[in-house]
Amino acid sequence: MVGGMKYILLKTFRDIRETIGSFISILVVIFIGCFFFAGIIEATSAVTKQVDGYAADLNTASARAAYMYVNSAAVDEIGEAEGVKLAAGYNTFYAKLKGTRTDVTLTTLTPDIDKPDVLRGKLPERKKDDGFIEIIVDKVYAEAHKIKLGDTMELTVDTLDRIELPSMNMSYKKLDYKCRVSGIYHAIDVLYKVDVMNTAATAEEFVMAMVNVEDVPLFTDTAGIYSGANPILPFSSLEQAGITVYNGIRTLGTPENAKEVFGAYTVDTEDAEQALKQIQDMLKNPSAAAGLFVNVMEFDEYPAVVAYDGINDAISALAAVLPFIFFAVAAAITVISLSKTVDNQRMQIGVIQAIGVGKGAVYFSYIFYALFACVIGGLTGGIVGTYTVPYLLEFIYEGQFAMPPTPLDIGVLYLFLGVVVAAALACVSAFLSCHRTLKAVPAQAMRPKPPKKTKRILAERWTGLWKRLGFGAKMNLRNMFLHKIRMLLSSVGIVGCLALLIGLVGLKDNMAFSFNHYDAQSGYDMAVYLLDAADVAAEYAKMEESGTVEKLTFVPAFSAKFTHGKKSADQTVMALPSADDVRKYEYCDVDCVKLYTDMSQKTRLKLKTDTFAIPEYLADKLDVKAGDVVTISGRALDGKTAEFDVKVTDIVYEYFEQKAYCSYGFFEERGIALAADTAYVNAARDAEINAVAKKIENAEGVRGVQTFRESFGILEDRMSLLDYAVILFVIGAGVLAVAVIYNITATNLKERTREIATLMVLGYKKRETANMLIVENMVITAIGCLLGLPLGFLLLKWLVGVTETFGVFISSFMSWYTALGCMALTFLFSLVATMFLNRKMKKISMVEALKSVE
Amino acid sequence: MSLIEFKNVSKIYRLGEVEIPALDGVDFAIEEGEFVVVLGASGAGKSTILNILGGMDTATGGEVNVAGDDITKYNAKQMTLYRREKVGFVFQFYNLITNLNALENVEFAASVTQNHLDPAKTLDDVGLSERAKNFPSQLSGGEQQRVAIARAIAKNPLLLLCDEPTGALDYKTGKMVLKLLENVNAEYKKTVVLITHNSAIAPMADKVIHVKSGKVEAIDINENRMSVDSIEW
Is it the case that residue B160 has pLDDT exceeding 90? yes
| pLDDT in the model for residue A197 | 34
Q: Do A451 and B136 touch (CB under 8 A)?
A: yes
Q: Say if CB B35 and CB B206 are below 8 A apart.
A: yes
Is it the case that residue B32 has pLDDT exceeding 90? yes
B109 touches chain A (CB under 8 A): yes
Average pLDDT, chain A: 81
Q: Mean pLDDT: which of A328-332, A638-642, A822-826, A838-842 is highest?
A: A822-826
- 3-class DSSP state of B8: strand
Q: Say if CB A740 and CB A333 are below 8 A apart.
A: yes
In this prediction, residue A827 has a pLDDT band, given cuts at 50, 70 and 90, of very high
- Provide, as residue numbers in chain A, all residues whose Cβ is less than 8 Å from the Cβ of B98: 451-452, 454, 755
Binding-site residues on chain A for chain B (CB distance < 8 A): 450-455, 471, 474-475, 478-479, 482, 754-755, 757-766, 846-847, 850-851, 853-854
In this prediction, residue A249 has a pLDDT band, given cuts at 50, 70 and 90, of very high
CB atoms within 10 A of CB A671: 10
| pLDDT in the model for residue A203 | 47
In this prediction, residue A660 has a pLDDT band, given cuts at 50, 70 and 90, of very high
Q: Say if CB A525 and CB A681 are below 8 A apart.
A: yes
Name the residue among B47, B112, B135 with its Cβ closest to that of A764.
Answer: B112
Is it the case that residue A801 has pLDDT exceeding 50? yes
- 3-class DSSP state of A749: helix
Q: Tens digit of pLDDT for each residue in A92-131?
A: 988 888 866 677 888 898 888 988 888 899 988 877 777 8
Q: Do A847 and B57 touch (CB under 8 A)?
A: yes
Is it the case that residue B23 has pLDDT exceeding 90? yes
Name the residue among A452, A761, A766 with its Cβ closest to that of B137.
Answer: A452
Which residue type, as a one-letter code, is found at position B90?
A: V
Is it the case that residue A207 has pLDDT exceeding 80? no
Name the residue among A764, A846, A854 with its Cβ closest to that of B56.
Answer: A846
Nearest CA to CA, how far is A800 from chain B (Å)?
Answer: 46
Nearest CA to CA, how far is A4 from chain B (Å)?
Answer: 31
| pLDDT in the model for residue A278 | 76
| pLDDT in the model for residue A76 | 92
| pLDDT in the model for residue A755 | 83
In this prediction, residue B138 has a pLDDT band, given cuts at 50, 70 and 90, of confident
Tell me the pairing of strands A133-138 and A170-186. parallel
- Provide, as residue numbers in chain B, all residues whose Cβ is less than 8 Å from the Cβ of A755: 97-98
Q: Which stretches of chain B are assigned E, i.e. beta strand?
A: 4-15, 18-30, 35-40, 61-66, 69-70, 87-90, 159-163, 191-196, 207-212, 215-221
Q: Do B112 and A763 touch (CB under 8 A)?
A: yes
B85: closest chain A residue by CA:
A763
The residue with greater pLDDT, B50 or A730, is B50
In this prediction, residue B97 has a pLDDT band, given cuts at 50, 70 and 90, of confident
Q: Tens digit of pLDDT for each residue in A715-750?
A: 777 677 677 777 877 888 888 778 877 877 787 787
Least Cα distance to A854 among B91, B173, B101 occurs for B91
The residue with greater pLDDT, A825 or A293, is A825
In this prediction, residue A549 has a pLDDT band, given cuts at 50, 70 and 90, of low
Tell me how far CA of residue A87 lies from CA of A60, A80, A209, A299, A835, in angstroms.
12, 8, 21, 14, 71
Measured between alpha carbons, how far is B108 from A471 in angstroms, rounded to an integer? 6
- Provide, as residue numbers in chain A, all residues whose Cβ is less than 8 Å from the Cβ of B83: 760-763
The residue with greater pLDDT, A839 or B199, is B199
- Provide, as residue numbers in chain B, all residues whose Cβ is less than 8 Å from the Cβ of A763: 80-81, 83-85, 87, 112-113, 155
| pLDDT in the model for residue A681 | 87
Is it the case that residue A176 has pLDDT exceeding 70? yes
Q: Which of A484, A761, A768 to mutate to test the interface with B (most CBs of B within 10 A)?
A: A761
Q: Mean pLDDT: which of A222-226, A392-396, A764-768 is highest?
A: A222-226
B100 touches chain A (CB under 8 A): yes
Q: Do B100 and A482 touch (CB under 8 A)?
A: no
- 3-class DSSP state of B207: strand
Q: Which of B97, B106, B149 to mutate to test the interface with A (most CBs of A within 10 A)?
A: B97
In this prediction, residue A191 has a pLDDT band, given cuts at 50, 70 and 90, of low
Give me the percent of chain A exceeding a pLDDT of 90.
Answer: 12
Is it the case that residue A618 has pLDDT exceeding 80? yes
Q: Where is average pLDDT lowest: A29-38, A54-63, A183-192, B216-225?
A: A183-192
Long-range contacts of A470-477 (CB under 8 A, 24+ apart): A471/B100, A471/B104, A471/B107, A471/B108, A471/B111, A472/A768, A472/A771, A472/A772, A472/A775, A473/A775, A474/B99, A474/B100, A474/B104, A475/A755, A475/A772, A475/B97, A475/B99, A475/B100, A476/A772, A476/A775, A476/A776, A476/A779
Measured between alpha carbons, how far is A402 from A203 in angstroms, rounded to an integer? 10
Name the residue among B57, B99, B112 with its Cβ closest to that of A475.
Answer: B99
In this prediction, residue A233 has a pLDDT band, given cuts at 50, 70 and 90, of confident
Q: Which of B98, B104, B108, B145 to mutate to test the interface with A (most CBs of A within 10 A)?
A: B98
B120 touches chain A (CB under 8 A): no
| pLDDT in the model for residue A403 | 61
Mean pLDDT over B10-38 rounds to: 90
In this structure, what DSSP letter does residue A206 have? E
Q: Tens digit of pLDDT for each residue in B162-214?
A: 998 888 788 888 888 899 889 889 988 889 999 999 899 999 999 999 999 99
Q: Interface pTM (ipTM) of the complex?
A: 0.71
Q: Which residues are CB-neighbours of A87 under 8 A, at least 6 positions away?
A: A75, A76, A78, A79, A81, A249, A250, A251, A252
In this prediction, residue A631 has a pLDDT band, given cuts at 50, 70 and 90, of very high
| pLDDT in the model for residue A26 | 85
Residues facing A118 on adjacent strands: A185
- Provide, as residue numbers in chain A, all residues whose Cβ is less than 8 Å from the Cβ of B57: 846-847
Q: Do B137 and A479 touch (CB under 8 A)?
A: no
Q: Which of A457, A463, A762 to mutate to test the interface with B (most CBs of B within 10 A)?
A: A762
Is it the case that residue A665 has pLDDT exceeding 50? yes
Is it the case that residue A359 has pLDDT exceeding 80? no
Is it the case that residue A198 has pLDDT exceeding 50? no
Is it the case that residue A351 has pLDDT exceeding 90? no
Mean pLDDT over A25-49 rounds to: 83
A763: closest chain B residue by CA:
B84
Q: Mean pLDDT: which of A237-241, A735-739, B113-117 is highest?
A: B113-117
Mean pLDDT over B82-87 rounds to: 89
Measured between alpha carbons, how far is B79 from B74 in angstroms, rounded to an integer? 6
The residue with greater pLDDT, A819 or A695, is A819
Least Cα distance to A344 among A583, A591, A15 occurs for A15
The residue with greater pLDDT, A302 or A546, is A302
In this prediction, residue A302 has a pLDDT band, given cuts at 50, 70 and 90, of confident
Average pLDDT, chain B: 89
- Provide, as residue numbers in chain A, all residues whose Cβ is less than 8 Å from the Cβ of B143: none
Q: Tens digit of pLDDT for each residue in A128-140?
A: 777 889 999 888 7
Name the residue among B57, B97, B104 with its Cβ closest to that of A758.
Answer: B97
Q: Residue A795: what are its φ and ψ, rounded to 5°?
A: -65, -40
What DSSP string describes A175-186?
EEEEEEEEEEEE
Domains of chain B in sequence order: 32-62+75-230 (3.40.50.300)
Nearest CA to CA, how far is A854 from chain B (Å)?
Answer: 7
- Provide, as residue numbers in chain A, all residues whose Cβ is less than 8 Å from the Cβ of B97: 475, 755, 758-759
Mean pLDDT over A208-234 rounds to: 84
Nearest CA to CA, how far is B103 from chain A (Å)?
Answer: 12
Is it the case that residue A194 has pLDDT exceeding 50? no
Measured between alpha carbons, how far is B57 from B74 in angstroms, rounded to an integer? 11
Name the residue among B99, B101, B107 with its Cβ closest to that of A482.
Answer: B99
| pLDDT in the model for residue A740 | 79
- Provide, as residue numbers in chain A, all residues whose Cβ is less than 8 Å from the Cβ of B113: 763
| pLDDT in the model for residue A196 | 32
Q: Do A471 and B108 touch (CB under 8 A)?
A: yes
Domain spans of chain A, in order of start: 55-300, 455-481, 483-523+709-854, 524-708
The DSSP element (H or E) to which A703 belongs, if any, is: strand A702-707
Measured between alpha carbons, how far is A267 from A274 in angstroms, rounded to an integer? 8
The residue with greater pLDDT, B26 or A559, is B26
Q: What is the number of CB-based contacts under 8 A between chain A and chain B?
A: 85
Q: Say if CB B132 and CB B120 are below 8 A apart.
A: yes
| pLDDT in the model for residue A436 | 78
Q: Do A763 and B84 touch (CB under 8 A)?
A: yes
Q: At what angle do helices A20-57 and A721-751 cross, to 10 degrees?
A: 160
Q: Do B112 and A453 touch (CB under 8 A)?
A: no
| pLDDT in the model for residue A406 | 59
Q: Which residues are CB-neighbours of A302 under 8 A, at least 6 positions away?
A: A64, A189
Least Cα distance to A574 among A503, A652, A515 occurs for A652
Least Cα distance to B5 among B62, B48, B60, B43 occurs for B62
A455: closest chain B residue by CA:
B135
Mark which residues 56-85 of B lie under 8 Å from A by CB: 56-57, 76-77, 80-81, 83-85
In this prediction, residue B220 has a pLDDT band, given cuts at 50, 70 and 90, of very high
Nearest CA to CA, how far is A15 from chain B (Å)?
Answer: 22
In this prediction, residue A354 has a pLDDT band, given cuts at 50, 70 and 90, of low
Q: Tens digit of pLDDT for each residue in A40-84?
A: 888 778 777 777 777 788 888 889 998 888 989 999 999 999 999
Q: At what angle do helices A20-57 and A359-400 cross, to 10 degrees?
A: 50
A457: closest chain B residue by CA:
B99
Mean pLDDT over B135-156 rounds to: 89
Q: Tens digit of pLDDT for each residue in A315-326?
A: 777 766 777 777
Q: Which of B80, B105, B159 to mutate to test the interface with A (most CBs of A within 10 A)?
A: B80
| pLDDT in the model for residue A199 | 34
| pLDDT in the model for residue B196 | 92
A854: closest chain B residue by CA:
B93
Nearest CA to CA, how far is B133 from chain A (Å)?
Answer: 10
Q: Do A761 and B89 touch (CB under 8 A)?
A: yes
- Provide, as residue numbers in chain B, all residues whose Cβ is less than 8 Å from the Cβ of A854: 93
Is it the case that residue A86 has pLDDT exceeding 50? yes
Q: Mean pLDDT: which of A42-46, A184-188, A540-544, B87-91 is highest?
A: B87-91
Angle at alpha carbon of residue A352, lines to A349 and A355, rounded to 5°:
150
| pLDDT in the model for residue A193 | 43
Where residue B55 falls (left for φ over 0; alpha for ψ -120 to 50; beta otherwise) is left
| pLDDT in the model for residue B29 | 95
Measured between alpha carbons, how far is B30 from B221 in angstroms, rounded to an integer? 11
| pLDDT in the model for residue B218 | 94
Q: Do A475 and B95 touch (CB under 8 A)?
A: no
Q: Which residues are CB-neighbours of A277 under 8 A, at least 6 positions away?
A: none
Mean pLDDT over A486-505 rounds to: 84
Q: Where is average pLDDT lowest: A558-572, A633-647, B133-147?
A: A633-647
| pLDDT in the model for residue A448 | 67
| pLDDT in the model for residue A771 | 83
Burial classification of residue A240, based on how many CB atoms lie within 10 Å of its CB (0-12 exposed, 13-18 middle, 19 or more buried): exposed
Least Cα distance to A33 among A385, A422, A380, A323 occurs for A323
Name the residue among B95, B109, B137 with its Cβ closest to that of A454.
Answer: B137
